[in-house]
Structures are given as structure tokens and as C-alpha cells.
């Protein structure tokens, strides 16, 4: 009897050990990714799995104080601060379905905007006046860029193309959007005035270009490109001219986010092994890691 009990205990311990080895060897630590600055520049919201599940966290940049924002059954990704600074929109996944949700900046009142169980709406971004949201969705059969009121009553397909359109971003004046698309064969960055619905290609090379976002004054665009063979952060003029590489390392660099004063960029990099949030000046200097899992 004692031998049987011992075997059961040993088997249980080995099973638990195998589970944790699988978890930590197959799921790399995400100490921070997908950053977004608060409108006053004092905080950053980001995604992390530091507690075992994708959730949103805020960080006081000066104090380096981190607070968990979302928890429970919803897996959270792609957070973006509202222009007023009182809410954060994000992509939330529960029971296998993605939705666009919002949460107050104190973690209260999580609400999903579009009560739909299909179409996988992803990557929300606020209009400058805070009354509408851009997002990508495959509700038409391929991924398109949509614009919606906060109550979801009016949803408009802006790109309406058979290609894969993704990574939307709004211009500071609200008249134009940025997005990435493979409509011309490889993934490039396009801009399009909402009223005209005529896209203009801003990049043209064989490498991947995406995750573009305008500077607060609309003069510069930060984006991700693999044109050098590595995923790096670049910047270019608003019309696509004068692209400049800002990161040069063997790690992956993604999700550039402008500080409200337009002087710095936050981004994700795994240059040290874990996915973490870094900030840098606009010439690529003064790089600083600000998340470490604590």
C-alpha cells in the first residue's frame, strides 16, 4: 500500500513538473509588449503574461511602478489610451472570441463594445476626438479596416479590398488613416483620406513594412520594417520620404508608440531574450529598458 501511494505521489510531482517545464520552455516571458502612452506622458499601458496570462498593465514611467489593469477570463492585447485619458481600448478574447473592449484606467468597468461572437475585431485605435474607433476585422471574409461609433451602431468598411489590410492608425487631425496591406504583393504601408477612400502607398520594398503610427504633429511616421533582414523600428516623413532605421540589433523590434510630446518612442524588443518595453530618442539614441517582469 505504501509503495502504491509513493508511486502516485511521485507521478503527481512529475506531472506538475512537466506542466511547468512545458509552460516556461514553450512560452517565452513577455515582460512587456504593445505599449501605448497616456495623453499626459506620465504612464504607459502594455500587455504582459508575467502572471501566467495575457493581461494589461500600466506603469508610472518616473517611479517605475506597475499596476495590473485587467484580470479574469478575458485575455487582453493591443491596448491604446483614449485621448481624454480616462479609458483604454483593447482586443479582448474570452471563450474563443475576440472583441473590442474598453476599461477605465483604474481597472473598473470593463465593457465590450461590439456584442458579436464572430469576425475577430482586432487592434483598436481611437479617433482624435475620442468618439470613434478604428479596428481590423475579417467580417467580410478577408481582413479589412473598419470605423465604428463607440456603441457599434454604425460600422463602416474603409478599405473594402480583397487583400489583407491591418494595423490601422488615425492621423492627428482625424482626416486620414494609416494601415498595412499586401494588396500589391508584399506588405506595405498606405495612407488614405477617409472621405476619399483612395489609398496611397508610402513604402515600396521587398521587405515587410507595418505597424505604422503618426507623430503627434503629423509630420513623421514610425513603423516596423524587415527590409534589412531584421525586424527594426524606422521613421519616415509623412509622405513616405527619407526613411531612417532607428534600431540595429539582432532582436525583434515592434510596436512603436509615440510619446505625447513627440520626442521619444516606446517599443517592444526581445534583444535580451525576453519581450520588454524600451524607450528611445527619435535618432535611436538613449535606449532604455523600462520593464523587467517585476
CATH topology of domain 31-289: Neuraminidase (2.120.10)
For residue 193, what is the enclosing H or E element? strand 188-193
Per-residue model confidence as pLDDT tens digits over 107-157: 999 888 865 555 788 999 999 999 999 999 988 788 999 999 887 778 899
The residue among 138 and 202 whose pLDDT is bigger is 202
Q: Say whether pTM exceeds 0.75.
A: yes
| Confidence class for position 14, pLDDT limits 50, 70, 90 | very low
Q: 109: how many CB neighbours lie within 10 A of its CB? A: 9
User: What pLDDT, on a 0 to 100 scale, did the predictor assign at position 51?
Assistant: 81
User: What pLDDT, on a 0 to 100 scale, did the predictor assign at position 99?
Assistant: 87
Instruction: Give the whole-angstrom CA distance, residue 65 versus residue 45.
Output: 12
Longest dimension (CA), the chain: 79
Instruction: Give the whole-angstrom CA distance, residue 84 versus residue 126.
Output: 10
Let me know: does 178 contact 212? Beta carbons within 8 Å: yes
Instruction: Give the whole-angstrom CA distance, residue 251 versus residue 239.
Output: 28
Distances (CA, A) of 199 to 84, 156, 159, 188, 202: 29, 16, 8, 11, 9
Closest CA to 168 of 144, 152, 188: 144
User: What pLDDT, on a 0 to 100 scale, did the predictor assign at position 26?
Assistant: 41
Q: 261: how many CB neighbours lie within 10 A of its CB? A: 11
Angle (CA) 154 158 161, round 5°: 130
238: left (phi over 0), alpha (psi -120 to 50) or beta: alpha
Backbone angles phi, psi at 149, to 5 degrees: -70, 160
For residues 121, 31, 232, 217, the Cα torsion angle rounded to the nearest 10 degrees is 70
Taken as a whole, the chain contains a residue count of 294
Average pLDDT over residues 245-267: 96
User: What pLDDT, on a 0 to 100 scale, did the predictor assign at position 155?
Assistant: 87
Owner of C-alpha cell 496570462: 53
Backbone angles phi, psi at 254, to 5 degrees: -140, 170
Lowest mean pLDDT among 1-5, 37-41, 44-48, 270-274: 1-5
Amino acid at each position: 500500500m505504501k509503495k502504491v501511494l509513493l508511486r502516485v505521489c511521485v507521478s503527481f510531482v512529475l506531472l506538475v513538473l512537466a506542466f511547468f517545464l512545458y509552460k516556461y520552455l514553450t512560452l517565452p516571458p513577455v515582460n512587456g509588449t504593445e505599449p501605448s502612452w497616456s495623453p499626459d506622458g506620465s504612464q504607459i499601458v502594455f500587455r504582459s503574461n508575467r502572471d501566467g496570462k495575457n493581461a494589461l498593465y500600466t506603469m508610472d514611467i518616473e517611479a517605475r511602478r506597475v499596476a495590473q489593469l485587467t484580470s479574469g477570463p478575458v485575455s487582453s492585447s493591443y491596448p491604446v489610451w483614449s485621448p481624454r485619458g480616462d479609458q483604454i481600448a483593447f482586443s479582448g478574447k474570452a471563450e474563443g472570441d475576440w472583441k473590442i473592449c474598453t476599461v477605465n484606467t483604474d481597472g473598473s468597468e470593463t465593457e465590450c463594445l461590439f456584442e458579436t461572437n464572430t469576425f475577430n475585431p482586432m487592434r483598436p485605435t481611437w479617433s482624435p476626438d475620442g468618439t470613434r474607433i478604428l479596428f481590423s476585422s475579417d467580417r467580410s471574409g478577408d481582413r479589412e479596416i473598419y470605423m465604428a461609433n463607440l456603441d457599434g451602431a454604425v460600422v463602416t468598411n474603409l478599405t473594402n479590398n480583397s487583400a489583407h489590410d491591418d494595423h490601422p492608425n488615425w492621423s492627428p487631425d482625424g482626416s486620414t488613416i494609416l494601415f498595412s496591406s499586401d494588396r500589391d504583393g508584399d506588405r506595405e504601408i498606405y495612407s488614405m483620406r477617409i472621405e476619399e477612400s483612395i489609398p496611397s502607398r508610402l513604402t515600396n520594398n521587398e521587405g515587410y513594412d507595418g505597424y505604422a503610427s503618426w507623430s503627434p504633429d503629423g509630420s513623421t511616421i514610425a513603423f516596423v520594417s524587415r527590409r534589412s533582414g531584421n525586424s527594426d523600428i524606422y521613421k519616415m516623413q509623412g509622405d513616405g520620404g527619407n526613411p531612417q532605421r532607428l534600431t540595429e540589433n539582432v532582436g525583434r523590434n515592434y510596436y512603436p508608440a509615440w510619446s505625447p510630446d513627440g520626442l521619444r518612442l516606446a517599443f517592444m524588443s526581445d534583444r535580451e531574450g525576453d519581450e520588454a518595453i524600451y524607450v528611445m530618442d527619435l535618432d535611436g539614441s538613449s535606449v532604455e529598458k523600462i520593464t523587467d517582469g517585476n
